[in-house]
Amino acid sequence: MLTVIGGEGHQCRRRHSGRRITLFRRVASLAAGALALAACSSIDSLNEAMPLPSGSRAVSEPAGDATAPAMPVSAAGFAIQTHARTDLRNYDRFSFMTATTKGLAPDAAARADERIRGMVDAAVNDALAADDGACIEGEATCGIFELTLDVLPCSGEILCLKQDVNGVPVGSATSDQRVDVLVLDSVTGRAVDLSRFVPIEATEEFLAAVNAEVAAAQQQAGFYDPAYPTEVTEDDIAGWAPLSDRIQIWFSRYSAGPGAMGAVTVSVPYPGS
């Protein structure tokens, strides 16, 4: 800071005093400018010598919204566990599998896992309810229940889990064979509808192809009767899966042929392909 001293003992002409003050102000201004330039130069040199840490942003750069990295589809899948019950009264054998998803976002995993539990629990609880029944012909134990889960190689962001139920219900003289398939979107965890791959306008073409494959399967098994052809509808389909080059379809026992054929499996190309 520059200070101009004055008092009674100092009698200067007004013009000389004004020039001196103006000169002092200019000198002060030039000095302040030089100091500012030197400070900026020092800061720039410091920034060059000390680069920002990795992942940091300069203050002048607008920062975008932070988003979690997308989970690769290849990382998504299922973890499967096997269980057995030996404490049941009427079952010779009772085993089942459960599954949870892995590699999904938390919300998607919660939705998908709930659907898996619903599918498995429905079959297991139905079988457990029969444990209160009676075996035929006086047998001590007679029931067999086996529930297995298989991961299917579905395309894109789709996850597919196939459930097979096989066995002999308590009090029954015939075996049971049922199929169910969960088709899930790995991004949302929600179930995928068949209409995503078979548009409404292609339904007739799709069902015609399915019935042709069912007839071929019956012929191969020796059960085809042209006088009574099987005409399946979309409601008869127990499960389906969108594979890379075709749609695979499952029918539970008796749905697409006589019981001796068991569960019938066919595959058809995607409509329009």
The β-bridge relationship of strands 91-102 and 77-84 is antiparallel
Task: Say how far residue 93 (Cα) sits from the centre of its chain.
Answer: 34
Q: At 5, is the secondary structure helix, strand, or coil? A: coil
Token pair of 192, please? 């995928």
**pLDDT 10s per residue in the chain (273 long)?**
433 334 434 333 334 444 443 433 443 444 444 434 344 444 344 344 333 333 333 333 333 333 334 444 458 999 999 999 999 999 999 999 999 999 999 999 999 999 999 999 999 999 999 998 889 887 888 999 999 999 999 988 999 999 999 999 998 888 889 999 999 999 999 999 999 999 999 999 999 999 999 999 999 999 998 888 889 999 999 999 999 999 999 999 888 988 888 889 999 999 987
Q: Are 202 and 271 in contact (CB under 8 A)?
A: yes
CA distance 20 to 237: 102
Query: SS3 of 178, please?
Result: strand
Task: Give the distance, in angstroms, between the CA of residue 249 and the centroid of all CA atoms in the same chain.
Answer: 22
Q: Is 189 left (phi over 0), alpha (psi -120 to 50) or beta?
A: left
CATH 3.90.640 range(s) for the chain read 194-273
User: What is the distance, to the nearest Å, from the Cα of residue 13 to the centroid of all Cα atoms in its chain?
Assistant: 90
Residues of the chain with CATH 3.30.565.40: 74-192
Residue 181 φ then ψ, to 5°: -135, 130
Kindly indicate whether the domain formed by 194-273 is annotated with CATH number 3.30.2310: no
- As a CATH number, domain 74-192 is 3.30.565.40
